[in-house]
Structure formats: C-alpha cells, structure tokens
Structure 1
Amino acid sequence: MPPHARSDAYRPEALIAEDIDAYLARHERKTLLRLITCGSVDDGKSTLIGRLLYESHTIFEDQLDTLTAESARLGTQGDAIDFALLVDGLAAEREQGITIDVAYRFFSTPARKFIVADCPGHEQYTRNMVTGASTADLAVILVDARKGVLPQTRRHSHLVHLIGVRHLVLAVNKMDLVDYDQATFDRIVADYVDFAGGIGITGVIAVPVSGFKGDNITTASVNTPWYTGPALIEHLEAVELDQFSSRTRPFRMPVQWVNRPHHDFRGFSGLIASGTVRPGDQVSVLPSARRSTISRIVTEGGDLPVAVAGQSVTLTLSDEVDCSRGDVIASAGDPPQAADQFEATLVWMADEPMLPGRAYWLKLGAQQVAATIQTTKYEVNVVTGERLAAKKLELNAIGVVNLATDRPLVFEPYADNRTMGGFILIDRLTNATVAAGTLHFALNRAQNVQWQPLDISREHHARIKNQKPAVLWLTGLSGAGKSTIANLVEKRLAWMNRHTFLLDGDNIRHGLNRDLGFTEVDRIENIRRVGEVAKLMTDAGLIVIAAFISPFRADRDLVRSMTAPGEFVEVHIDTPLALAEARDPKGLYARARAGELKNFTGIDSPYEPPDDPELRIDTAAVTPAEAANLIVSYLVGDPR
C-alpha cells in the first residue's frame, strides 16, 4: 500500500448514506477499547499510532498538510509522511527522536472506539509506561524485525502482565526492512512466546506489520501472503472487553460521592466496578457490613431498571444506613473482603527509594488510608523473571511486599477486579505519587487477629490519673542535650504529681530495639516501634517523654499519626552541628569523622529538622533547666 493510501473500508461513508443523527447515535453505542503500545526505543510505536490515526480518518486536512510539510522539513524518506510526528508532541521528544511522556490519542472505526497510549521506551521512563498501562484493556508489544526481542521488550511485557493487562498483541514491526521475510517473523515469535510462557503470559496474537508502509494495519497485506491471521485493527475490533466479563461477577460499587441535593433525597454515586444491580437487591455497605436494599437506580436520563459494570449511577437505599465516600456497596450474598494487612506488588516511581517502615497514604479508588510497608519479600528482575532478595526498592524497581494499613481496606485481588485491587502510594509530606501497586491477598494474620473490646477506656485511665495523656517528642542532633532536658522535664512533672514515663534512645536500644542497627531502614523501624510503645502508654493515661534523634520527618509524622489529635508535642532541640560536635559527650562525632562510625546523623546521614514543631528550643541560648521549664510550661502551664 503506498504511504499516502488509506483503506476504503474505513472511509466514513455512513455520513453520506444515512441521516447524521442516526450516525451519531450509532457512534455513541460503540464500545471503547483502551490500548497501550510499548516496547523498546525506536521500535516504531509512535509511527504505528500515527498510521492508525491516518487510516481511521482522524486527521483533519490542515493537520495532514502540516504533517506533510514537517515530514519534508525533517527529511523523511521520499515524499512519505512521518506518522510519529502526530504523537511525539513534546519538543524534547522531536529533538531526541524518542517518546518521553505518555501521549493519548483517540480514533474510531465503524465497529469500535479506541483510546491509545503511546508509552516511553527508555528504561528511565518506566513509571510513565506504568501510568499508561494502568487503565489499558490491551497491550501492543512492538518489536523491530531487525533487532528481535530486546531486554526492554521483556521489561514492558512483564510490566503489563503484572499490572493485569489480559490481552497482548505482538506486533513485529518494520517488516519492510527485512523484505517481509517469514523466517525472521517466525524466529521472533518463537523467541517471544518462549519468554512469555515463562512469566505466565499465554494466548499472544502475533502480527507482522509495517507502520511506515501500512502493511497488515487495517487490511491484509499482499507483501505477507504467508500470514493468514487478522490485520491489527481487525483484531482490535474483535477483542472481548473486560467490562463485559466483569458483569458476571458479584456486584461492587465504590462510593465516590454522597448526593444530597435536598433534604428529601440521599443517594450514593459511583462507577459500578463489577456485577449487575436492580431495585430490590439486598446489598451490604462495607466496611461496616450494614445491610439494606436498593430502592432506586438514578441517572441523569431517569431511573433504570438495571445497571451493569461500567455505568456511573446513583443508588438510593431503603434504610438510613451510614455510608460515605470511600465505602463500597456490594452484593449482600457475596461481599468483598476488608483487611488491614496485605501482600502486594509495587512498581516504585520515586527518586527516593522505598524503605520498609515508612508511612505513606494508600489510595484505592475513593478510599484513602495510612499504610506502612512492613517487609520487602523480593524484587522482580523484569527481564529474566528472577526473584531477587531486597530490603528496599529503587526507582522503576518492581517488588512484592507486605503492607499494613491503619484501618480496614475494602478490596478484591487485582487479578479478579482491577478497580478494587489497584492502588497508589502517596508521600505524606509532598503529596507526590511514589508507587503504583496491586493487591494479591489479605495476610492470614489480618483475618485471624481481631480487636478485643475492653471495658476500661483510655479516657478512664487518664481520668483516674487526673491528667491529659501526651507524647513529648524531643528531636535533635546527637549532643543537642535531648536526654538531659528530657530527664529534667520528667523530674519537674514528677514534683507536680504527674504520671510519666521517659523513653530514651540509648536505653531502648539495650532492650526492645537491641536487634536494630543504624542504617536508614533500621532507624525507621526504631522509631516505628517506639511510636507503638508511646501510643500504648498514652492509652494508659501517661505523659510520655521521648528523647530520640529521629532524623526523618516522615517517621516523626508517623508517630504523630498514631496518637490522638493534640496529644503529640514535637520539641526541636535546635543545636547547631558545630556546637553539638564541640560538646561530643560520647566521642561519637570524632569516630564518625575518622570513618569508624557509619551512618552517623549530621556527618554521613542527614537530619531533617521539623518544619513546624510545637516548640523550638535553641540550646545555644538557654540552659537545660530553662529548656525543661519551657517544655513543662507549654504542657501544663507555668510550673512555678
């Protein structure tokens, strides 16, 4: 097919042959397929998408004129069009000849509508590729016929499989550059199928194509008479969408919004993730597990007798049950699970590494909870499939972890329900997305260990002690004077008949945390354990005084989140490094400077001072006794 030729089969003759309103109505009823193109650098992904847009008549004449002129300016072969220019919209991409961002494009055929994501090929942009794959129904894995299956081909294939894309097409591109050789095509397919089978990918459809020349894109090419399968678009039109298979699963609808336009109406709006629902159906509202009955299914166009997966609706219930954003309305006879500990796969997207024990926000649909990565079980080598021992995950790494949330999360395994099993992790300080993840299953301990109700409350413990519980958290460099000041604070509170307990960093490491070292991971776990102990002590009604370097803001914020509002008092014992080092009561700075002591805060490990502590005390300006008075005065008023 000549470079400028388009298949007549995809010319929209319906606009001429039938009434425009009827055509538009038929267009609205088309199903939508989301697909992603991925593979190694320069495999021709952008060119293939540009060809799809061109063949489906999605390009306006002025765009075509501009594209032709731009192709000529850039010296494209002959008078051919460089279809990649339709997709590579960023100036940096055109200059470098690579795709950096994820570019989304829409096109349509008489049978179906499509949204296609062109994803980066370079390894450093793997996180961009994961973003594009997260909503895809199908992945087109491109391979340059001259190069065969490359490591990045394997990487992207493994990623889309982990993310749950069920339909894969192996497009062996640039067949025109190998003279449409069947042996080359067969060798690449055999190589890919052997790799894919090893990581659990089955049922791959392989198509020999040329995005530049248009072979086997919309119709069978005369240049590949040995290929008897469908053209690429023919296959894309025939793929069964996951949303149809999800309609046979139990009903689930995450609540995105409580709709109360007036006092006589209260509905719960959301996108149905799976199943079918009708008025009169018995449902359960999770995680509370309260039951009710569907009263109405409300839409902008009127009430519906039935709604299915993929539809956005507002449900009203026959009972006044407690239901809010983040809850899930589900079939009463087969509800999803709710748990607070899980095994999950993570794709790490942040420049800073993932560290066990650090707290993040976990967002799954409309649910948002605090989450902590407990352990890294292993990292996955996405090229070989090998499982590697790992304590942390670096940028673009993929690993399997155990994580815990601060309250039950309503979920289903990602393999069964992508909406109910896919999540992101968000940095609590910067609000940046640091990881995408998929839930596998709830850990047995999450199901077997339940909260035991107790008759004596934390309020009763505090009342009989005649005080308000608190955590006085003293943070600062080694040598700042934290332990000295903490000891004076406890003595003053004891004179005032307050019930206290002092947790000192060194003392804790003689017992509870004697198994921990001073790596960043161990420091995070050190503070997490102390935070849990401090929380238990405030439940007992005590005033807890904690003196710890606690160098990382995220870890101090984690302890704050464990305590009741207003009970955590962060006290920055603010001492300049030079002054702390001059004091050096334990000789630690001298050893660190000599290289005898690794990971020492202020020397070869950072200290992150509080941004907005309740108290900041400059020990260069006040004595330890004066500092203690300031802290006690803040807590209980003037101590004199």
Structure 2
Amino acid sequence: MEVQVESRGTTTEADAPQGSCLRVLTCGSVDDGKSTLLGRLLFDTSSVADDQITTLTKDSARFGTVGEGKLDLALLVDGLEAEREQGITIDVAYRFFASSKRKYILIDAPGHEEFTRNMATGASNADVAIVLLDARKGLLPQSRRHTFINALLGVRHVVLAVNKMDVVGNDEETFRSICEAFEAFAKPLGFTTTYCIPVSALHGGNVVARSAEMPWYDGEPLLAYLDNLECEADGDDGPFRFPIQMVNRASSEFRGLCGQVAGGIVSVGDNVIVAKSGQPAQVRSIIHGFDYVDLARKGQAVTVVLDECVEVSRGNMLVAPQSQPCISDQFMAHLIWFDHKPLLPGRSYVCRTETDVTDATVTALKYKIDVNSLAHNAATSLQMNEIGVCNISTQTPIVFDTYHDNRNTGNFVLIDRFSNATLGAGMIDHTLWRSQNIHWQVLDIDKSARAAIKFQQPRVLWFTGLSGSGKSTIANMLEKLLHAQGRHTYILDGDNIRHGLNRDLGFTQEARVENIRRAAEVAKLMADAGLIVLVSFISPFRSERSMARGLFNPGEFIEIFVDTPIEECIRRDPKGLYRKALAGEIKNFTGVSSPYENPISADIHLKTVGRQAEDLALEIEDYLTQLAAR
C-alpha cells in the first residue's frame, strides 16, 4: 500500500538563522522513542527534503513499525541497515536542521546497555540532553545511567521528555509522578536547568506544536523550549590550548604547527609556551584553510607559525603562559567501563589523551557509583557499563586540564594493548599532588656500573606456564649452570614470594594482576642491581606479561614459555593441587577454573613433554650465550 505524503518545503542554508547552534542529545532506555522524536522534529519543521520523503516512504513500507500506510519517522535517523532490520539505534546518528530562531545539531544515542560507549560519545559533544522515558515504564536504570553520564560529561541542561503519553490516556498524574522521581534523582547531579515535558512523538503532541489532548500542560512544547534555552558560551573565555597534531614543513623556510584549538583564543603576536618544556615563543602568523587570519577560536583547525624554531612536535601542546595545564604522571578520574572483561587495578592499559599516548595503570579503584542511588560502593573491579572513581598512573608525564575546566584536554580513553579496542572513557578530576612531591634521586652508581663489576649483562628470564609445567625445576637447573659460570643470579619463585611480599594476596583475577605487578617491580630492582633474575610465575595473563616486559630495556626481558599440556600437568600434579581444583576444593585455579593465555611470541618456547629439565636448561643457556655474542 502506498503512503500518501504532501509535498513539503525544506529549510535551506540561506533560510537558516544566524543565531547560536545548539547540540541536542536524545538518550534513555531502549524503545522509548528517541529516533521517532528526532524524526518528528525534522518532519514537522519541514527539514526533510522531498527525495528523503520518497526514500522514507519506501523504507516505511519495508521496515516500518507504526502501521501499514504510515510513515515511520524513526527511519530518518536510524540509518544503518541493522538498525532498520532490528528497530533499534546502534550507532550515534547526527542530523542538522534549523528553526526560525537557531540552528540545531541533533544527536541520537542508542539506548541498549551494550552501546553505552556510543551514548557517551554523543554526550561528550552535547549542550543539552533530552532524556526520553516511556510513560508506561517510568524511570528505568538505563535512564538513570544516561542522566548520570550526561552530568559526568559536562552537559549542563537536561530535558525530561515523557513519551507515549497517548498510550496512557494523556494522564496528568502519571506525568507528575514520573517528573517528581526524575527531579529527585537529578537534583544532586548539579544540572543548571532541568525541565519536564509530556510528549507523544508518534503523533507530534508537544513536540513542535502544543497538544490539544493534554490541556492540563501549560508549559512550552519541546522545540519552543529549546529555541529559548540560554546556554553558556563555549570556549572563548577559557585559557588557550593548542594540541599539536602535525609539524608542517612545506619548505625549508616554513615550519607550521597544525592542530585544532582545544580552548580559548589565540591571536597573532600572542606569547605562548610549549607545555612540556616551558619554552616561550610568539605567534608570528595563523593560517586557517588557505587564508592568513588574525586570530583562531576553539574548534577551528589552523596552522600556527611561531617566531622561533622551538622544539615541539606531535603530542605536545601550545598553551597560554599565564594559565598553564597540569603536567603529571598521576591523576584521579571518573571512568566509564565499556568492555565485557572487567577493569582490574594493577593491569596495564594504553592511555590516549588529546595529546599523548602512553602506558597507564589503574593504581587504585576508590569506589564505584550505583547509578540508581548515586551511592559510592567499595569495589575491586569495574564491570561493563559501570562507573567508578580511580587513581591512574601513566608511564610518562602527560599534559592535561581537569575535565571541568576543559572537556577536550581533560578526557582520555583506555585502550587494550593487544586488540586496540577502546575499553573505557575517563574524565580527569584532578592531579595527585603526591606525584609532584616525589622525584628521582640521582645516584652515581648506575645499573651499567653494577653489572660491569659482575662481568655480565643484567637479564630478566621470565618463566611462564601452567602449574606443574616444570617452570621452577628448569629455573633451578639453569641457575646452577649460571652459578657454575660465576654469574650473579637470583630466583623469584611464585610460591616463595607468596610467603612474604605477596602473602596478603589471594587468587582472584584482581589479586593475580597485583601479584605479577609486584613481582615485576622487584625483578626490575634486581636487574638494576646488575643481576640475572629468574622469575618463575604462572603469570596467566598476556597483559601482565606485556606490562612486565615494558619495564625493561630492549633485550633485557626474555619471556620463556614452558609449554606443557594441561593433561600432562594433571598427571604430574606434584603438589596435589589439580586434584583439589578438579574436586572444587580450590577456586580460581589456572587451567581449571581460571584461564591461562598462551604467549603469542615468546622469546623461548620450551615444549617439555619427553624432554629432561637439564636439556631444557641447556637450551636456555645456549640462547643466552648467543645473545651475549651479538
């Protein structure tokens, strides 16, 4: 059946008002009607071109869910094929339109918990958030989570749109009770404004025009409220921040610094400094596109030419001398966790900020936040979509502002060092001043001097494998060989360390991460003393083994995979642990109830079945001899 649609005009660029541009996010729980609401805004403001109407007519017949012969306005923003087939929003969709008063960027965020990362992306760019609720369901956990994330990401204005009022008979009492619950929840979050509107996105009630079906509502319809909403100016009053993306050497006489202004204004003749080095310079010229301009504002991509050839490159930042950012390797932050695998304190991740990429570790998870009650609960890990406050330590100092002061330079993401997947998004609260009070003490005798007196190269031989694979036996045999050659060695054995340094740790995944972190730091100290250190730990996770390798200079860390099939380890069972684990008497036992991640590219791969420990130790000794001869 064909859908009959009247021809509609559209707002052209020439017709668009010259006022401010408002970035509006719609969010909330799944199936509450976010895409339909935005489609209604576009349709009723004549912002849909005729060819789009034609396409929408065809798509409504194929994918529509509102009834035969009717336009499904949600399809205007659900652009992915999978979204149309499933009737859900997956990715963030951006649409542009203009009313008679201002321009708008509409941001449609997905409601499913699985796509919380996409919702957070949309919120990070929004001025105002429309939290949509189904009047039949009320305030759901996902609605609370999205509201809290908006507050966390700096959205200052929130509108509660109670949708599907037509389904509940346009009942005023239902609307009022939902508004009271929402306002009680949102009050401690610090929004500048909150406003509640009853709507019917499907039929257009109180979206662009007032609804005659809800005469008891005496407020403005949604579009009128947004038209009149006063938002704070964005960026011009903040300190100048210019992260360097590229150094442009168009010729031997031209050196321009390319990037996007992340805060404030910069003008020709302004004094600036290089954030990390503190070197001063003056802005000689600014190029925007192909034109030389007098100044550049936040959000503009420009090339800045300085009067001096100071040392500055990608990853650094030009800043205002009178208001400099923090430079630190430790800070506290709110963190939204996205991954199916939990965040574990002590595990090493890759931290990417506006300017830097460096290894980072969550040194402490202070608490996680209950999105329903906003309570601060003690936690040892963060699960998918949970929000927590943590301390983070980076391998090298980074340049940042607090997120409250600058969204661009105060945010970061944590990335998996193997898959390169984004695991979590963070907002920096403040630097940890203790990091400013601790400095490296310069010592006259260094690692090379300590190693030279022993006539050897410091090494860390990291034995990894299942319990019962033979790690300790082979390490003990190798140490005897090295000792006989006059080498200075020490064995760090997993069981022995748990009697002292790590006696407070259990065998949960979180405790295993901390167990390896401590062992790696001790091994580093011993290598600094010039020793050959043999570390014999199960160390089941690749991430922690990679973290340990990253503590050492190239060639110092040698990963040795003692590869023994679990069936053989169970047969050997030298300590009777497999028998207990298989009987359920030991929890979190590697290979039985806890995973072991095989090394992908170990330096030495020892297959032990059918071989003697002496022969395996000799194989490692030969490797060390060849390594020393290079």
Whether TM-score is above 0.5 comes out as yes
Residues 85-119 of structure 1, C-alpha deviation per residue, up to 9 Å, x if partnerless?
22234454445443333333333345444332222
Matches within 5 A, 1:563-582: 563-582=552-571
Change (3 A) 1:302 1:65: closer
Residues 111-150 of structure 1: CA deviation (Å, up to 9, x unaligned): 4443322222233433332232232222111123444333
- Cα pair 1:633 1:639 within 8 Å, conserved: no
Confirm or deny that 1:123 pairs with 2:113.
Answer: yes
Per the alignment, in what secondary structure is the counterpart of residue 408 of structure 2? helix
Correspondence for 1:358: 347
The AA in structure 1 aligned to 2:382 is: L
Aligned partner of 1:466 in structure 2 is 455
**Equivalent in the alignment of 1:346:** 335
Query: What letter matches 1:279 in structure 2?
Result: V
Matching of residue 418 in structure 1 with residue 407 in structure 2: yes
1:230-277: CA deviations, max 9, x gaps? 4433443444555x3421111111112222222212222111111121
Letter in 1 for 2:182: Y
1:438 counterpart SS class = strand
Match of 2:196 in 1: 206
Helix, strand or coil: the match of 1:420?
coil
Q: Kindly tell me: are residues 4 and 468 of structure 1, through their superposed partners in 2, closer, same or farther at Cα, counting changes over 3 Å?
A: same
State how far apart, in whole Å, the 2-side matches of 1:461 and 1:379 are.
45
Q: How does 1:46-195 map to 2 (within 5 A)?
A: 46-71=35-60, 74=64, 76=66, 80-109=70-99, 111-178=101-168, 180=170, 182-195=172-185
1:584 corresponding residue in structure 2: 573
- Name the SS for the 1:132 alignment partner: helix
Asked if the contact 1:380–1:399 (Cα under 8 Å) also holds between the matched residues in 2, the reply is yes
Equivalent position of 1:374 in the other structure: 363
Task: From 405, 426, 443, give the equivalent of 2:394.
Answer: 405
Please say if 1:432 is aligned against 2:421. Answer: yes
- Matched AA of 2:118: N
User: Residues 269-321 of structure 1: CA distance to partner in whole angstroms, max 9, x if unpaired?
Assistant: 11111112123322221223333222222222322222221211122222332
Query: Cα–Cα, structure 1 residues 267 and 540, in superposed 2: closer, same or farther, change >3 Å?
Result: farther
Whether the 8 Å CA contact 2:24–2:130 is kept in 1: the answer is yes
Change in Cα spacing, 1:245 to 1:526, as seen in structure 2 (3 Å) is same
Following superposition, the deviation at residue 152 of structure 1 comes to 2.6
Contact kept in structure 1, 2:353 and 2:412, CA below 8 Å:
yes
Opposite residue 365 of structure 2, the aligned amino acid is T
Superposed CA offset, 1:458-506 (max 9, x none): 3333334333222111111112221121122222222333332221112
Deviating more after overlay: 593-602 vs 338-347? 593-602
In structure 1, the gaps of 5 or more residues are 16-22
Amino acid at match of 1:491: K
Comparing 141-150 with 412-421, greater Cα deviation is found at: 141-150
Q: Given the alignment of the two structures, is residue 394 of structure 1 paired with residue 372 of structure 2, yes or no?
A: no
Find 2:29's aligned residue among 9, 15, 40.
40
Give 1:593's aligned residue: 582
Partner of 1:312: 301
1:251 to 229, 240, 256: 240
Q: Indicate the larger mover: 275-284 or 64-73.
A: 64-73
Of 244, 255, 262, which residue of structure 1 is paired with 2:251? 262
Distance 1:89 1:623 in 2: 62
Cα-to-partner distance string for 1:329-358 (whole Å, 9 max, x where unaligned): 111111011111121111111111111111
CA contact (8 A) 1:347 1:398 kept: yes
Which runs of 5 or more structure 2 residues have no equivalent in the other structure? none
Identity, % of aligned positions: 49
1:407 aligned counterpart, secondary structure: strand
> Residue 494 and residue 35 in structure 1: after superposition, are their counterparts in 2 closer, same or farther (change >3 A)?
same
Q: Given the superposition, is the C-alpha separation of residues 481 and 387 from structure 1 closer, same or farther in structure 2, using an over 3 Å criterion?
A: same
Distance 1:548 1:223, change over 3 A: same
Aligned to 1:131, the other structure's residue is in SS state helix
User: Against the structure 1 CA distance between its residues 4 and 279, is the aligned structure 2 distance closer, same or farther, given a 3 Å change threshold?
Assistant: same
Deviation at 1:219, TM superposition (A): 4.4
Task: Tell me which amino acid in the other structure corresponds to 1:149.
Answer: L
Matches of 2:10 and 2:606, distance apart in 1? 75
**Partner amino acid for 2:516?**
I
Q: Give the Å deviation of 1:179.
A: 5.4
Change (3 A) 1:66 1:294: closer
User: C-alpha deviations, 1:7-31, integer Å up to 9, x for none?
Assistant: x9x854xx6xxxxxxx65x869665
Give the whole-Å Cα distance in 1 for the aligned partners of 2:582 and 2:61: 62
* Aligned 8 A contact 2:10 2:49 in 1: no
The structure 2 residue matched to 1:631, chosen from 620, 623, 626, is 620
1:570/1:638 Cα in 2 relative to 1: closer, same or farther (>3 Å)?
A: closer
* 2:323 match: 334
Choose which of 486, 489, 494 in structure 1 pairs with 2:475: 486
Cα offset for 1:435?
A: 0.9
Q: Which moved more, 1:347-356 or 1:71-80?
A: 71-80
Distance 1:280 1:85 in 2: 51
Taking the aligned partners of 1:417 and 1:205, their CA distance within structure 2 comes to: 26
Shift of 1:631: 1.1
Equivalence for 1:20: none
Report the equivalent of 2:226: 236
Quote the Cα distance in structure 1 between the aligned partners of 2:246 and 2:170.
55
Whole-Å Cα distance in 1 between the matches of residues 84 and 627 of structure 2? Answer: 67
Tell me which amino acid in the other structure corresponds to 2:487: R
Q: How many residues align?
A: 625
Summarize the Cα distance change of 1:313–1:460 in structure 2 as closer, same or farther, 3 Å threshold: farther
Q: What is the one-letter code of the residue matched to 1:532?
A: E
Where does residue 455 of structure 1 map in the other structure? 444
* 1:498 and 2:498 aligned: no
Query: Aligned with 1:562: secondary structure?
Result: coil
Across the aligned residues of Structure 1 and Structure 2, the Cα RMSD in angstroms comes to 2.7
The change in CA–CA distance for 1:68 and 1:559 in structure 2 (over 3 A counts) is same
Q: What TM-score comes out, normalization by structure 1 length?
A: 0.91
Contact 2:244 2:259 in 1 (8 A): yes
Using the TM superposition, give the Cα deviation of residue 187 of structure 1 relative to its aligned residue in structure 2, in angstroms. 3.6
Q: 1:418 offset after TM fit, Å?
A: 0.9
Distance verdict in 2 for CA 1:91–1:314, change over 3 Å: closer
Change in CA separation of 1:11 and 1:131 when aligned onto 2, cut-off 3 Å:
closer
- Structure 2 CA distance, aligned partners of 1:222 and 1:479? 77
Alignment deviations for residues 135-177 of structure 1 (CA, whole Å, 9 cap, x no partner): 2222111123444333332221112112222221222323444
Residue 522 of structure 1: how far off its partner (Å): 1.1
> Aligned in 2, Cα 1:454/1:4: closer, same or farther, shift over 3 Å?
farther
Shift of residue 406, structure 1, vs aligned partner:
0.6
Residues 4, 162 of structure 1: alpha-carbon distance in 2 compared, 3 angstrom cutoff: farther
Q: Secondary structure at the match of 2:526?
A: helix
Aligned equivalents of 2:68, 2:437: Cα separation in 1: 70
| CA shift in 2, pair 1:241/1:493, >3 Å | farther
2:407, 2:350 → 1: CA distance?
19
Instruction: State the distance in 1 between where 2:466 and 2:475 align.
Output: 14
- Offset from partner CA, 1:409-440 (integer Å, 9 cap, x none): 21111122111111111111111111111111
